[in-house]
Structure 1
Amino acid sequence: MSSLLGFLCVLSAFTATGYSLTCKLCVGQDSSSCVGTTETCSPDHACGAVRTVTKINGNEMNLYYISCVAVKECNSPGSISVPIGKIRRGTSCCYTSNCVPPAPQLPADDKEANGLFCGACVTETSTDCSAEGIMECTGKEDMCLFQTTLTTGLLNTQEALRGCATKSYCNIAKQSVKSAEMNVELTYSCTPGENHTAITPTGQDDPGNSHSGHSPSATLMSILLLFLLCSKW
Structure 2
Amino acid sequence: MKNLIQKLHSKSRKMTSLMGIISLLSALKATCDGLSCTQCESRTSTSCTGISVTCSPGYYCGSELSEIISGSGYTSIYARRCTFQSLCDLKFSISTGHERSRSIALCCDTDYCSSTIPPMPPFNANPNGVVCASCDSIITPGCNTSETIQCNGDANICFHQFVKNGSTVKTVGRGCASRSLCDYFRHNRNSRDTTELDCTNGVTALQQNLPFLYFMFLVYCSVSII
TM-score normalised by the chain length of structure 2: 0.62
Q: Which moved more, 1:85-94 or 1:36-45?
A: 36-45
State the structure with more CA Rg. Answer: 2
Write the letter of the residue equivalent to 1:100: S
State the shift of 1:100 in Å: 1.4
- Is 1:137 matched with 2:151? yes
State the shift of 1:195 in Å: 1.9
Contact residue 149 and residue 159 of structure 1 kept, 8 A: yes
Contact residue 127 and residue 159 of structure 1 kept, 8 A: no
Q: Decide whether aligned partners of structure 1 residues 59 and 125 sit closer, same or farther in structure 2, where only a CA change above 3 A counts.
A: closer
Greater helix percent: which structure?
2
Q: Decide whether aligned partners of structure 1 residues 40 and 187 sit closer, same or farther in structure 2, where only a CA change above 3 A counts.
A: farther
Identity fraction in percent = 26
1:98-155 Cα offsets, whole Å, 9 max, x none, are 11121255465111111111111122399963561221111111111122468xxxxx
State the shift of 1:167 in Å: 1.6
- Give 2:198's aligned residue: 189
- Give 1:228's aligned residue: none
Q: Which runs of 5+ in 2 are unaligned?
A: 1-31, 165-169, 210-226
Q: Which runs of 5+ in 1 are unaligned?
A: 1-17, 151-157, 176-183, 201-233
1:60-93 Cα offsets, whole Å, 9 max, x none, are 1111100011222222221111212201112111
Contact residue 90 and residue 106 of structure 1 kept, 8 A: no
- Give 2:34's aligned residue: 20
Aligned counterpart in structure 2 of residue 92 of structure 1, from 72, 96, 106: 106
Contact residue 61 and residue 83 of structure 2 kept, 8 A: yes
Write the letter of the residue equivalent to 2:175: G
State the shift of 1:197 in Å: 6.1
- Is 1:167 matched with 2:216? no
State the shift of 1:55 in Å: 0.8
Contact residue 160 and residue 171 of structure 2 kept, 8 A: no
- Give 2:55's aligned residue: 41
More RCO (CA 8 Å, sep 6+): 1
